[in-house]
Amino acid sequence: MIKTAVLAGGLGSRLGAVTEDRPKPLVEIGSHPMLWHIMTYLAHAGMRDFVIALGYKGDVIKRYFDEPIQFQAHLSVDPANKENKNSEESPPDVSVELIDTGLKTQTGGRILRLKPWLENDTFCLCWGDGLHNVDMRALLAFHRAHQKLATVVAVRPPARFGHLEFDGDRVVEFSEKPQAAEGWINGGVFVLEPGIFTYIKDDKTHWEHEPMRNLAADGQLMAFRHQGFWQCMDTPRDLALLNRLWQQGNHPWNSN
């Protein structure tokens, strides 16, 4: 399988006090941090070679992988071969590169800083703050078939409020469900070719701005529509929802 880059350097300020002592990817869903959930899902799909872009409180992520904190530029870890690492705490058979990409670097800049680890082949990219049950094998097959530089997973976000259906003034249906009529958005999961690095200028570049716009304008951006589960963790409300699903045993991102 291919390498997977995870962006894990953002401030996570919208989550409030919960990110004062840890980065967002280490905020826990159930008894495990978000990063564990992401890596476990991908590892079960055969994607076990990770490159993690660190920024805000990157030392805490290094500590999570049981390595001494050296504050060096990057750190290589192979949790599967660490005797002191409980297999319950780490995704199976994974290798990890932890790369310091700067505190204030934007998403595009973080991707660009990962170029030395990703420039030789197709790679996957995902945000470190969202869960899903995307069929990764189907996604990779889709990407390879169209032969463009970039594939973005398109999702329809869950409706923020309960959906109402009427018969006159009478409510005939009330439900919380994904948006159905409109609203495809960037799901924070991509498959990319090394050619995308030429679309990123510097540390100040937001991947979601000029790079994606220019890839689209050049006919190099394709969408893989995902109709299944997807949920970001941007706010305390999102965090509470994910924890509630976990406690209820309803966690489609952990169904392997």
What residue segments make up the domains of the chain, in order of their start? 3-254
Q: Are 48 and 91 in contact (CB under 8 A)?
A: yes
Instruction: Say which amino acid occupies 215.
Output: L
Note the pLDDT of residue 173: 62
Note the pLDDT of residue 192: 98
Task: Give the pair of three-digit tokens for residue 188.
Answer: 């924070």
Q: What fold, for 3-254?
A: Spore Coat Polysaccharide Biosynthesis Protein SpsA; Chain A (3.90.550)
Note the pLDDT of residue 82: 43
Euclidean distance between CA atoms 95 and 37, whole angstroms: 15
Q: Are 65 and 28 in contact (CB under 8 A)?
A: no
Euclidean distance between CA atoms 43 and 40, whole angstroms: 5
H/E run at residue 50: strand 49-54
Residues 6+ apart with CB under 8 A from 92: 40, 43, 44, 48, 80
Note the pLDDT of residue 13: 83
pLDDT digits (tens, 9 = 90+) for 182-226: 578 999 999 999 999 999 999 999 999 999 999 999 999 999 999
Q: Is the dihedral of CA 151, 125, 2, 140 positive or negative?
A: negative
pLDDT digits (tens, 9 = 90+) for 46-87: 999 999 999 999 999 998 887 544 334 454 555 444 443 433
**Average pLDDT in the 32-54 region?**
93
Farthest-apart Cα atoms in the chain, separation: 66
Note the pLDDT of residue 255: 61
Q: b vs e for 193-221, b when ≥16 Cβ sit within 10 Å of the residue's Cβ?
A: beebbebbeeeebebeeebbeebeeeebb
pTM score, whole prediction: 0.85
**Average pLDDT in the 154-177 region?**
68
Rg, Å, the chain Cα set? 19
**Average pLDDT in the 21-33 region?**
92
**Average pLDDT in the 84-93 region?**
48
